[in-house]
Amino acid sequence: MSMPPPQMPFVDGYRPVEDDFFGDIYFDANNEINYSFGRNNQESSTGTGNLNQVLEKLDLVIKSHDTHHQYYQFTSIKGRGRRIKKKSKLLKSPFQEFDSTPRDKEEEFSEHLINNLIGRKNYWVYTEYHPNVGMDSDFWTKATTGWFDTPHMSCWINKLLLERDPEADWTILPSFFLSSVKMFRTWFHDLASGQMWPFPAIEHVDIFYVSVNVDNQHWCFAVIDIPKWSMTVYDSYQEICSTARTDMLNFLDYMFTTWLAYNNYDMGPTFRYPPFDRSYPISVPHQSGSVGDCGVWVCIFLQRLISNEELYISNEDTAKAVREFRWNFCKLMYGKKFRVHST
């Protein structure tokens, strides 16, 4: 998974002025530390080297505390050319014994650990499915209702896309896609061209799965089939039938062909002007219990549809299905490793 470049930290309120240093330190595909630096109106330069060499080029003062950066940590750097007084653990030799200062520890996954996540702010847990590198301690329990927030949905969508056959004729759009287009009028060129990880380019895709967030109170999702010119809406709580849901689906209906055309998608001979032929299947599992289960069912629907499984299972214990999904999803997210910062 590619990682975004770390941003240069501000120190004790110091902010670089217009003609001051600007630049980035980042890891390339070979896990070598790269840097780029320069000054405005002057020639910029780039290079590769270890962190000491890079930091020797920076006129930066960092006081004696850890930055707790997601990629590396360093302390006590003063002035140009000064060496790191305490190397981070990522830079230490594997044969060098750690000192007695507080250090990170790894804990295996356990039910007790999951049940005590609330209130533990000072750790990150790393997983390949999350769109960012880390997740804070409130990731799993955003609300007492069990509501799935956008990051939860993104994790599951990323998992399904990473397991997707490259020749498949479907894709899943980001959970924030519809809301972002509606609020910010952005057209997601990077998403359409396949430059947004892990989403494939849309040029050879016929079926689009779109999550619909209704005012942060309800999730449903739509399946848009371009060859059939249809929109099928799956909703685990069909009784809602709210005006807000209808407005969101109407917006999706009329903006989607514009988005495709704006990104040079060839809709072929089946193209017609909006609206799509919309339907609301009745034979879908209905949520029970927690009002926050709608997001869970969107994830289950996605899994079943792309796997060609039976969507509706007669006499299914829906409450049990939700509990099992939450638990398995939680283990998937947290089961690999914890990195707990000692404070």
Q: Are strands 277-279 and 339-340 parallel, antiparallel or unpaired?
A: unpaired
Peptide bond into 198 cis (omega under 30): yes
Kindly report whether the global pTM for this prediction surpasses the value 0.95: no
| Contact (CB, 8 A) for 130 and 151 | yes
pLDDT at 80 (0 to 100) = 42
Q: Lowest-pLDDT range, 26-30, 138-142, 236-240?
A: 26-30
Tokens of 280: 């609301």
pLDDT at 299 (0 to 100) = 93
Average pLDDT over residues 329-341: 58
CA dihedral 266→272→275→279, nearest 10 degrees, is -90
Q: 80 Cβ partners below 8 Å, 6+ apart? A: 56, 57, 58, 59
pLDDT at 284 (0 to 100) = 83
DSSP code string of 145-205: T----HHHHHHHHHHHHHTS-TT-SEEE--TTHHHHHHHH----HHHHTT-STTPPPSTT-
Q: What count of residues does the chain have?
A: 343
More confident residue, 288 or 231: 231
More confident residue, 295 or 239: 295
Does the pLDDT value for residue 18 go beyond 90? no
pLDDT tens, residue by residue, 169-212: 999 999 889 988 888 878 888 899 998 888 999 988 999 999 99
Q: 215 Cβ partners below 8 Å, 6+ apart? A: 244
Average pLDDT over residues 15-35: 40
**pLDDT band at 76; cut points 50, 70, 90:** very low
Average pLDDT over residues 28-55: 43
pLDDT at 100 (0 to 100) = 53
More confident residue, 146 or 61: 146
pLDDT tens, residue by residue, 250-285: 999 888 988 998 888 887 776 777 789 999 998 888
pLDDT at 310 (0 to 100) = 86
Peptide bond into 275 cis (omega under 30): yes
Domains of the chain are 1-101 (no CATH), 111-334 (3.40.395.10)
Q: Are strands 277-279 and 230-234 parallel, antiparallel or unpaired?
A: parallel
Instruction: Read off the amino acid at residue 59.
Output: D
Alpha-carbon distances, residue 332 vs 175, 287, 294, 325 (angstroms): 19, 23, 20, 10
Tokens of 284: 């879908």
Nearest Cα neighbor of 172 from 231, 124, 223 is: 223
pLDDT at 301 (0 to 100) = 92
Q: Are strands 207-214 and 22-27 parallel, antiparallel or unpaired?
A: unpaired
Q: Lowest-pLDDT range, 4-13, 134-143, 237-246?
A: 4-13
More confident residue, 84 or 229: 229
The per-residue pLDDT of the chain, averaged, comes to 67
pLDDT at 75 (0 to 100) = 38
pLDDT at 140 (0 to 100) = 54
Rounded (10°) angle between helices 243-262 and 177-184: 80
Average pLDDT over residues 53-65: 35
pLDDT tens, residue by residue, 116-168: 543 344 444 445 555 443 455 455 554 445 677 787 888 888 889 988 999 99
**pLDDT band at 321; cut points 50, 70, 90:** confident
Does the pLDDT value for residue 31 go beyond 50? no
Q: Are strands 207-214 and 170-172 parallel, antiparallel or unpaired?
A: parallel
Does the pLDDT value for residue 84 go beyond 50? no
Tokens of 229: 């010119």
DSSP code string of 256-301: HHHHHHHTT---GGG--PSPPEEE--S-S----S-TTHHHHHHHHH
- Determine the Cα–Cα distance for residues 139 and 151; give it in Å rounded to an integer: 8
Instruction: Read off the amino acid at residue 173.
Output: L
Q: What 3-state class would DSSP assign to 331? A: helix
Q: What 3-state class would DSSP assign to 172? A: strand
pLDDT at 245 (0 to 100) = 87
Q: Lowest-pLDDT range, 16-25, 253-262, 287-296?
A: 16-25
| Whole-number percent of the chain with pLDDT over 90 | 18
| Whole-number percent of the chain with pLDDT over 70 | 52
Give bridge partners of residue 34 from the DSSP assignment: 26, 48
